[in-house]
A = this chain, B = another copy of it.
Amino acid sequence: MAVYTQLSAEVLGDLIAQYDVGELVSAKGIAEGVSNSNWLVETTGSAANGRRFILTMYERRIDIAELPFFLGLLDHLAANGCPVPRTIHDRSGASSRMLHGKAVALIEFLPGVSVGQPTPAQSRSVGRVLAEMHAKAQDFSETRANDLDPHASARVLADCGEEALQAIDPALPAMIGVANEVAENWPQDLPQSIIHSDLFPDNVLMLGETVSALIDFYFACNDAMAYDLAVTHAAWSFSGDGRDFRPDVGRALIEGYEAVRPLAQDEREALPLLAQGAALRFISSRAQDWIDTPADALVTKKDPMDFVRRLEFYRREGKDVFAA
């Protein structure tokens, strides 16, 4: 959560002039994104493109070669009526440009705020929009593999090593075996689309009970749609530390999803395992970040145990929770 790069008004003004959006009026660096710098930009505007935008500078983690996939996906979904910000193309038609050696994109600003503790009604709306997104993404022409699947989670945990995991929490080393087991049993033939795969409340903007925007598609990839629902279930239906499951919020999410796209029998039966895979994806990345982050760094480390608790819950009660 930072702005890694300082851009002067002069540099920003020159950049904005490359787009049909009028002249720069305001630019505030915003504290969003862990691998990007972002500015909330206001201009004098144009009829085609409006007056407010998010300017994103891609600092690290994202491979620039993948930007056409991510930005093209936003445009495809927005054009098909999904609440997703479209990218503003520059005067030459490009969806991204280079600035000081880094890729930047100008993206539509959409209103809305991220809820802290979702209500069932909000969760139902998110389920509905997620299903619509899956449906509309079916005919997007480009593809991207999921490099954070359960096989990857198992690998990441093994690479952390039992000793380092033990030092974080005595319950963590056992996750290596769990991850291998989940990966071995992972279903191969569930219906796929492009999935968001990181749809935490932070990445959903809402106005009351309505979803105004899904944002931050930088983990989007081709994978099982039911897996995306499982990720979203793990992200929305618990207190942050994973100690309290909120059955009404979880139920409303799935009901909202099925109101648009009913789950097939094999998808529903796979949910307890898919949810364990979802938990392992965050356990593994958080464990890795924990080990990689210096003890005195000024960033808040996310506790992998928040998702170990979810994983244990899904192993214990997944069959009941996801029963039709």
Contact = CB atoms under 8 A, between A and B. Distances in A.
Interface of A: 1-3, 8-13, 24-32, 40, 42, 111-117, 205-207, 294, 296-299
B26 A3 contact: no
Please give me the 4 A-B residue pairs with the lowest Cβ-Cβ distance, nearest first.
A8-B116, A9-B113, A29-B31, A3-B31
Given A2-B2, A40-B40, A206-B9, A27 B298 contact: no
B115 A8 contact: yes
Given A8-B115, A12-B113, 6 more contacts: A1-B2, A2-B298, A10-B115, A28-B30, A296-B296, A296-B297
A9 B115 contact: yes
Contacts of A40: 28, 30, 40
Given A42-B111, A113-B24, A29 B1 contact: yes
Contact of A113 (B13, B31, B116, B205): B13
A42 B52 CA distance: 12
Contacts of A10: 115-117
A220 B46 CA distance: 39
B297 A25 contact: no
A201 B117 CA distance: 40
B3 A3 contact: no
Contacts of A12: 113
A12 B116 CA distance: 10
A11 B298 CA distance: 25
Nearest to A115: B9
Contacts of A113: 9, 12-13, 24-27
A7 to B, nearest CB: 8
Nearest to A208: B23
